[in-house]
Amino acid sequence: MKLPANTNSYLWGAALGAIALAVVGFGWGGWVTEGTASRNAAVAANDAKVAALAPICAVRFRAQDDAAIKIAELSKASSWARGNVIEKSGFAIMQGSKTSDSDVARACAEILSNPTTPKT
Protein backbone atom coordinates (compact mmCIF):
# COMPACT_ATOMS: atom_id res chain seq x y z
CA MET A 1 0.00 0.00 0.00
CA LYS A 2 1.41 3.34 -1.03
CA LEU A 3 0.61 6.42 1.04
CA PRO A 4 0.23 9.88 -0.50
CA ALA A 5 3.39 11.97 -0.51
CA ASN A 6 2.16 14.57 1.99
CA THR A 7 0.80 12.07 4.61
CA ASN A 8 3.67 12.88 6.97
CA SER A 9 2.61 16.54 7.06
CA TYR A 10 -0.99 15.58 7.80
CA LEU A 11 0.03 13.32 10.69
CA TRP A 12 2.24 16.02 12.21
CA GLY A 13 -0.56 18.55 11.88
CA ALA A 14 -3.05 16.21 13.53
CA ALA A 15 -0.66 15.48 16.41
CA LEU A 16 0.13 19.16 17.00
CA GLY A 17 -3.56 20.04 16.75
CA ALA A 18 -4.43 17.40 19.37
CA ILE A 19 -1.74 18.72 21.71
CA ALA A 20 -2.91 22.30 21.22
CA LEU A 21 -6.51 21.27 21.85
CA ALA A 22 -5.53 19.51 25.09
CA VAL A 23 -3.48 22.49 26.30
CA VAL A 24 -6.29 24.96 25.58
CA GLY A 25 -8.99 22.65 26.97
CA PHE A 26 -7.26 21.88 30.27
CA GLY A 27 -5.67 25.30 30.64
CA TRP A 28 -8.51 27.65 29.77
CA GLY A 29 -11.47 25.52 28.75
CA GLY A 30 -12.34 24.22 32.20
CA TRP A 31 -11.61 20.57 31.50
CA VAL A 32 -10.56 18.57 34.55
CA THR A 33 -9.55 15.01 35.25
CA GLU A 34 -11.78 12.61 37.14
CA GLY A 35 -9.65 12.95 40.27
CA THR A 36 -9.91 16.74 40.26
CA ALA A 37 -13.65 16.57 39.69
CA SER A 38 -14.03 14.16 42.62
CA ARG A 39 -11.99 16.41 44.92
CA ASN A 40 -13.99 19.48 43.85
CA ALA A 41 -17.26 17.63 44.48
CA ALA A 42 -16.12 16.53 47.95
CA VAL A 43 -15.11 20.09 48.87
CA ALA A 44 -18.42 21.47 47.60
CA ALA A 45 -20.38 18.85 49.55
CA ASN A 46 -18.48 19.65 52.75
CA ASP A 47 -18.98 23.39 52.24
CA ALA A 48 -22.72 22.85 51.73
CA LYS A 49 -22.91 20.70 54.88
CA VAL A 50 -21.13 23.33 56.94
CA ALA A 51 -23.31 26.11 55.53
CA ALA A 52 -26.44 24.16 56.47
CA LEU A 53 -25.41 22.93 59.93
CA ALA A 54 -23.47 25.89 61.38
CA PRO A 55 -26.57 28.10 61.77
CA ILE A 56 -28.36 25.23 63.54
CA CYS A 57 -25.45 24.94 65.94
CA ALA A 58 -25.54 28.70 66.58
CA VAL A 59 -29.28 28.65 67.29
CA ARG A 60 -28.86 25.73 69.70
CA PHE A 61 -25.96 27.52 71.43
CA ARG A 62 -27.99 30.73 71.79
CA ALA A 63 -30.92 28.76 73.26
CA GLN A 64 -28.99 28.05 76.48
CA ASP A 65 -30.20 29.73 79.64
CA ASP A 66 -26.86 31.49 80.10
CA ALA A 67 -26.16 32.10 76.42
CA ALA A 68 -24.99 35.70 76.86
CA ILE A 69 -22.34 34.62 79.36
CA LYS A 70 -21.23 31.69 77.18
CA ILE A 71 -20.99 33.92 74.09
CA ALA A 72 -18.91 36.43 76.06
CA GLU A 73 -16.60 33.59 77.15
CA LEU A 74 -16.42 32.41 73.55
CA SER A 75 -15.46 35.89 72.38
CA LYS A 76 -12.63 35.99 74.93
CA ALA A 77 -11.12 32.78 73.55
CA SER A 78 -8.56 33.05 70.78
CA SER A 79 -9.86 32.67 67.25
CA TRP A 80 -8.01 29.34 67.03
CA ALA A 81 -9.64 27.97 70.20
CA ARG A 82 -13.24 29.00 69.51
CA GLY A 83 -13.99 25.94 67.41
CA ASN A 84 -12.71 23.70 70.20
CA VAL A 85 -14.94 25.50 72.72
CA ILE A 86 -17.99 24.81 70.55
CA GLU A 87 -16.95 21.17 70.02
CA LYS A 88 -16.55 20.63 73.77
CA SER A 89 -19.95 22.24 74.44
CA GLY A 90 -21.62 19.52 72.35
CA PHE A 91 -23.67 21.88 70.19
CA ALA A 92 -21.77 20.88 67.05
CA ILE A 93 -23.01 17.30 67.39
CA MET A 94 -25.99 16.99 65.10
CA GLN A 95 -28.91 14.64 65.57
CA GLY A 96 -28.00 11.12 64.50
CA SER A 97 -24.26 11.71 64.87
CA LYS A 98 -22.02 10.56 67.69
CA THR A 99 -19.20 13.05 67.12
CA SER A 100 -18.96 16.72 66.34
CA ASP A 101 -17.68 18.07 63.05
CA SER A 102 -14.74 20.44 63.52
CA ASP A 103 -15.62 22.43 60.39
CA VAL A 104 -19.18 22.95 61.64
CA ALA A 105 -17.85 23.93 65.08
CA ARG A 106 -15.47 26.52 63.60
CA ALA A 107 -18.21 28.00 61.41
CA CYS A 108 -20.61 28.03 64.36
CA ALA A 109 -18.03 29.85 66.49
CA GLU A 110 -17.55 32.36 63.67
CA ILE A 111 -21.29 33.03 63.55
CA LEU A 112 -21.52 33.42 67.33
CA SER A 113 -18.49 35.68 67.67
CA ASN A 114 -19.45 37.94 64.74
CA PRO A 115 -23.16 38.67 65.12
CA THR A 116 -24.77 40.45 62.23
CA THR A 117 -26.15 43.89 62.83
CA PRO A 118 -29.82 44.36 62.01
CA LYS A 119 -30.56 46.40 58.91
CA THR A 120 -32.57 49.54 59.44
Give domain status of residue 76, yes or no: yes
Average pLDDT, the chain: 89
Give domain status of residue 103, yes or no: yes
Give domain status of residue 101, yes or no: yes
Residue type, 100: S
Domain span including residue 67: 54-120
Give domain status of residue 45, yes or no: no
Going by pLDDT thresholds of 50, 70 and 90, the confidence category of residue 18 is very high
Give domain status of residue 22, yes or no: no
Per-residue pLDDT averaged across 47-69, rounded? 92
Give domain status of residue 71, yes or no: yes
Residue 75 has pLDDT above 60, yes or no: yes
Q: How many domains does the chain have?
A: 1
Q: What are the backbone angles phi and psi of residue 64, rounded to the nearest 5°?
A: -65, 155
Give domain status of residue 65, yes or no: yes
Residue 37 has pLDDT above 90, yes or no: yes
